[in-house]
A and B are shown apart, each in its own frame.
Chain A
């Protein structure tokens, strides 16, 4: 299973090899989507973790013990399907095709798994159909 985590590191932990441990000890495939970490300053790491349920659960338990704050779950970017008029104005702005137009229906779809949470799409939507709920990242 794949799961997306936003990991917030307190300053004292920014030097820890957390991703290395997640890969080595918990056998997870880690895809770093976005990182903003400076040594001795709190930082954020957005990762897509891939592993079986046991591996993920034990990795989460370990992360909790280290003091890393895990914001689990889906993307913090919320695309409001009901408001969207499928103009497409957000799609070439999105660096990862997390927002994309289906070439036959010409409807826009949002795939949270691909989202880097860069926030670029939020001001690009003329309808206000996209919002950013995490408050940690800004365009």
Chain B
């Protein structure tokens, strides 16, 4: 008998406290021991996770109305510009925005974390003044309790694979992949590999719009496909892309988050980013899902790009498996080169484990996607045109 389970059946087990939940690390041995078929009957949910710098991160806020009210423009939060081209007191603070006085040493990511930590934030805004919103200036302090809403809305997180980076030039490069030493002195890679959410669900069978996720300690949701979603990327025999594939847009309430899983990252001479912790449960609906979650680092490959080529498309210097990257040293063009991750596997594992415990305790239900992601979406480029037109 083939093992098939529905979302409802799995949720029933979760409610009863009987669900068998394991992490995407643990499941590898279970499948090796029992085989896909038996493992699919035995395991109900597999937890995946990642904790890495994700630049496309930010938060929407609604400050509430002052008296007299103001239609805010030029919004600054601790002197970091927020976008307020929305309704009167709505704004979006992006993680990578730098402070007007402190530069990249303090930015949107820091504002978001300060809010989550319960700190007060200086809000200032101005306005031309209108009949319905007469106030022209406001200077005040806000905190997470004062505002109406404050939620993360990250347009692109949790990349399904990402190219590793190296530098063939003769000077160090300061990048969002960290410091790349000259002369291929190091190779930096990100994604949590075999623990990465979308690498465990390569064809987006269970992860889609509406999927409940762990987002920096809160229960959040997948709200859309992430920007630069490119599911149509060439796949290997295991169905995995060996370059950036799918991505997730995610949202969740800042009030339920913790800065243990949300942290500002400052990359020297590059700018600000934000470490975001994401966990996604994968319900084991059948053997195919089980076979996908049993993927291990030796099956996942990624390309190594030369970041010294300052073009959109960087040349690939080769392909390596995550198993090789994880060994700390790889051979590239006949040379041994040290490797290092910039995604924390330690934190990713903590998240997978926490999510597992929440599901075991019946505190976290799985959800069927309201809408699945497209399977053949390709990436477009921006052409620099000399005149308007198609």
A: which residues have CB within 8 A of B? Answer: 85-93, 101, 103, 105-107, 120, 123-124, 126-128
Contact = CB atoms under 8 A, between A and B. Distances in A.
A47 B339 CA distance: 28
Contacts of A105: 346
A23 B327 CA distance: 38
Contact of B179 (A101, A107, A124, A128): A124
Interface of B: 51-53, 178-179, 181, 185-188, 263-268, 273, 275, 326-328, 338-347, 349
Nearest to B190: A87
Given A91-B340, A93-B340, A126 B178 contact: yes
Nearest to A120: B179
Given A85-B275, A89-B188, A92-B187, A124 B268 contact: yes
Given A92-B185, A92-B187, 11 more contacts: A87-B53, A93-B178, A93-B186, A103-B326, A103-B327, A103-B328, A106-B345, A123-B268, A126-B265, A126-B275, A127-B265
B344 A85 contact: yes
Contacts of B328: 91, 101, 103
A78 B173 CA distance: 24
A88 B326 contact: no
Q: B interface, by DSSP: helix, strand, loop or mixed? A: strand
B291 to A, nearest CB: 26
Given A86-B344, A93-B186, A123 B326 contact: no
Q: A interface, by DSSP: helix, strand, loop or mixed? A: loop
A88 B344 CA distance: 7
Contacts of A87: 52-53, 275, 341-344, 347
B342 A88 contact: yes
A54 to B, nearest CB: 40
A86 B51 CA distance: 10
A125 to B, nearest CB: 9
Given A124-B179, A127-B265, A89 B342 contact: yes
A118 B367 CA distance: 51
Contacts of B340: 88-93, 101
Contacts of A85: 51, 263, 275, 344, 346-347
Contacts of B52: 87
Contacts of B263: 85, 127
Contacts of B178: 89, 93, 124, 126
Q: For the complex of A and B, list the 4 residue pairs with the smallest distance between their C-beta atoms, beginning with the closest.
A: A92-B340, A126-B265, A92-B186, A86-B346
A105 B348 CA distance: 11
Contacts of A89: 178-179, 188, 340-342
A92 B178 CA distance: 10
B153 to A, nearest CB: 22
Contact of B273 (A101, A106, A124, A126): A126
Contacts of A103: 326-328
Contacts of B179: 89, 93, 120, 123-124
